[in-house]
Chain A
Amino acid sequence: MTTVIIRTTARILAPFIQLFGLYVIVHGPISPGGGFQGGVIVGASLILLALSYDLASAEARAGHAIRIAMDSTGSLLFAGIGLLSLLAGGVFMDYGIIPLPLPAAQVRALMILLIGMAIGVHIMALVSTLFLHMAEDHE
């Protein structure tokens, strides 16, 4: 267990890190960053909590089963949105062809945003799982 200074700082800082990660994910299509980078930032907030408290409390907050489920859900959503255009008669990840009541350019932008969010969920679970596994093996 670390000192109260580290614990309080991490507890206050973590929501802001997660908010910034969400900003990076959602602004992915129009600015530097995107799903992967934002996911890493949100995952880093979990790593910070695990470091400043201990591994058991991080495990209690986001358990192994939940993390694996988020990991798989992210990759499935990513592949599923790509396959959606196959169902509409186009090629893989050709979003413009998906029949929504919007111009094709807007459908493309929307689907790229959704894919970015799916990657964000996937990478967030992946990064925190990697860290927790390596830290547990090290003990």
Chain B
Amino acid sequence: MPLVERVLVLASVVLVGVVFVSFYRAVLGPTPADRIVAINVIGTKAVVIITMISFAYEQKFFIDVSLVYALIAFVTTVGLAKYLEQGTLG
């Protein structure tokens, strides 16, 4: 495996470890704002991880998956923010 791909895979593994740190904050976070930011961070990291894996293994279709993930994470963020502010989704 060439050096660039090895670095990308290693960076993905490290980022997966960091996702668990954010997950810890999302589960335990004392205030709802903590949870929202933690879930946002996890979504952003997932996009980056999928893109790096797609470069490392030369699967260009994974870019589509990361685009979808970014879109769904945006909808989640809007929904959570509205629920926090108003108490309803209406």
Residues of A at under 8 Å CB distance from B? 2, 6, 10, 13, 17, 20, 24, 31-33, 37, 41, 44, 47-48, 51-52, 54-55, 135-136, 138-139
Question: Which residues of the partner chain A approach B72 to less than 8 Å between Cβ atoms?
Answer: 44
Are B71 and A41 interface neighbours, CB within 8 A? Answer: yes
Are B65 and A54 interface neighbours, CB within 8 A? Answer: no
The SS class assigned to the B binding surface is helix
Are B64 and A52 interface neighbours, CB within 8 A? Answer: no
B89 within 8 A of A: yes
A13 touching B64 in the complex, CB below 8 Å, given contacts A2-B82, A51-B79 = no
B20 within 8 A of A: no
Residues 59-90 (chain B) with a chain A CB within 8 angstroms: 61-62, 64-65, 67-68, 71-72, 74-75, 78-79, 82, 88-90
Are B78 and A32 interface neighbours, CB within 8 A? Answer: no
Are A32 and B65 interface neighbours, CB within 8 A? Answer: yes
A35 vs chain B, min Cβ distance (A): 14
Are A20 and B71 interface neighbours, CB within 8 A? Answer: yes
Residues 29-58 (chain B) with a chain A CB within 8 angstroms: none
The one of A10, A31, A47, A136 in contact with B90, judged by C-beta atoms closer than 8 angstroms, is A136
Are B67 and A138 interface neighbours, CB within 8 A? Answer: no
Are B64 and A51 interface neighbours, CB within 8 A? Answer: no
- In the assembled complex, the Cα of A64 lies from the Cα of B62 at a distance in Å of 35
Question: Which residues of the partner chain A approach B75 to less than 8 Å between Cβ atoms?
Answer: 44, 47-48, 51
B35 vs chain A, min Cβ distance (A): 18
Are B78 and A52 interface neighbours, CB within 8 A? Answer: yes
Question: Which residues of the partner chain B approach A54 to less than 8 Å between Cβ atoms?
Answer: 90
Listed A/B pairs (22) with beta-carbon separation below 8 Å: A2-B78, A2-B82, A10-B78, A20-B68, A20-B71, A24-B64, A31-B61, A31-B64, A32-B62, A32-B64, A33-B64, A48-B75, A48-B78, A51-B75, A51-B79, A51-B82, A52-B78, A54-B90, A135-B89, A135-B90, A138-B89, A139-B88
